[in-house]
Amino acid sequence: MSNLKFLNKLAGQKLKEISLIKEFFDDKTKPMNVALLLKFKEFNCLIYAISNDDTILVKLKKNLKWIKKTGKYKAFDISNSKFWKDCIGRHVVWAWQLINHQGYEDGLQFYLSNDLNKQEIIRQIVVKASQLYFYKV
């Protein structure tokens, strides 16, 4: 399943907020990073790990009512975290889908910039072992 049609719509969009969705388990094992919610002015972008094949999926929605609120999943605003805070207020210039050597779409890369100094920020989101991992490039 290609995420390109959704990634194309992100070009030029200004990132307003980022939330990390964690999945919690009854046996108190460590929670997993299963989704990332990117909030833009016109729509929201949900990026999540597909656990049965370790691929990544992107969905765009105008409202947030489609996110089911259960005790199993909890969202955390990470916009001001050390890793993500420089991305807030920047526009998506480019977005890539990453495909591994076995042909699975298991990651995304975002190139963000601002209008003032054109300083670039690149972030990768990759699925490993059924959860999301984040990298600076």
Stretch among 73-77, 105-109, 113-117, 126-130 having the lowest mean pLDDT: 113-117
Radius of gyration of the chain from its Cα atoms, rounded to whole angstroms = 15
Q: How far apart are the first and last CA of the chain?
A: 25
Q: How many domains does the chain have?
A: 1
Angle, CA 112 vertex, CA 58 and CA 51 arms, to 5°? 25
Contact call for residues 21 and 126 (beta carbons, < 8 A): no
Where does the pLDDT of residue 70 fall: very low under 50, low under 70, confident under 90, or very high at 90 and above? low
Indicate if the alpha-carbon torsion angle 36, 39, 40, 44 is positive or negative.
positive
More confident: 66 or 84:
84
Where does the pLDDT of residue 7 fall: very low under 50, low under 70, confident under 90, or very high at 90 and above? very high
- Overall average pLDDT of the 85-95 stretch: 94
Which range marks the domain in which residue 38 is found? 4-136
Which pLDDT score, from 0 to 100, does residue 4 have? 87
Which pLDDT score, from 0 to 100, does residue 72 have? 87
